[in-house]
């Protein structure tokens, strides 16, 4: 049975760093991408600096490394992790040595946290500003 890999984020402006993260995640199994809802992005960036959920999902679904896209409405993906029960949870290099709010859920379902260990090359926040 193929392993399930969960990757989460806003993916507000999908850039090369995101694609490299998804390519990296695909090495471990079937990639499910969890994206934050519009409401979360509105709080984080403001309504005029966000791409709507349906458009972000469409772009992600078109990437060959992505098998499924799901939307979550909570501030962090803990409940999504508990629902999907992935074998692996992959985060980008900016999460190295960071305590994640979803740590409890990661341990609860017993998935392995994998941090992509490359130098961060892009940032949605920098692109927006």
pTM of the model: 0.90
Between CA 108 and CA 77 the distance in angstroms is: 13
Condensed to tens digits (0 to 9), the pLDDT of residues 66-100 reads 999 999 999 999 999 999 999 999 999 888 888 99
1-15 pLDDT per residue, tens: 899 999 999 998 888
d(CA 47, CA 122): 22
| Helical (H) or strand (E) element with 103 | helix 103-109
Lookup: tokens for 104: 């409890």
Beta pairing partners, 90 = 7, 114
């Amino acid at each position: 049975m193929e392993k399930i890999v969960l990757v989460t984020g806003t993916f507000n402006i999908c850039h090369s760093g995101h694609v490299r993260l998804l390519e990296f995640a695909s090495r471990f199994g079937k990639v499910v991408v969890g994206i934050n809802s519009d409401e979360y992005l509105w709080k984080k960036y403001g309504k005029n600096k966000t791409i709507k959920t349906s458009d972000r999902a469409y772009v992600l679904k078109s990437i060959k490394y992505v098998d499924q896209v799901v939307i979550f409405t909570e501030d962090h993906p803990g409940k999504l992790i508990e629902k999907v029960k992935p074998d692996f949870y992959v985060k980008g290099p900016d999460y190295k040595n960071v305590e994640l709010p979803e740590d409890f859920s990661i341990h609860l379902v017993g998935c392995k946290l994998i941090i992509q260990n490359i130098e961060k090359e892009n940032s949605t926040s920098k692109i927006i500003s």
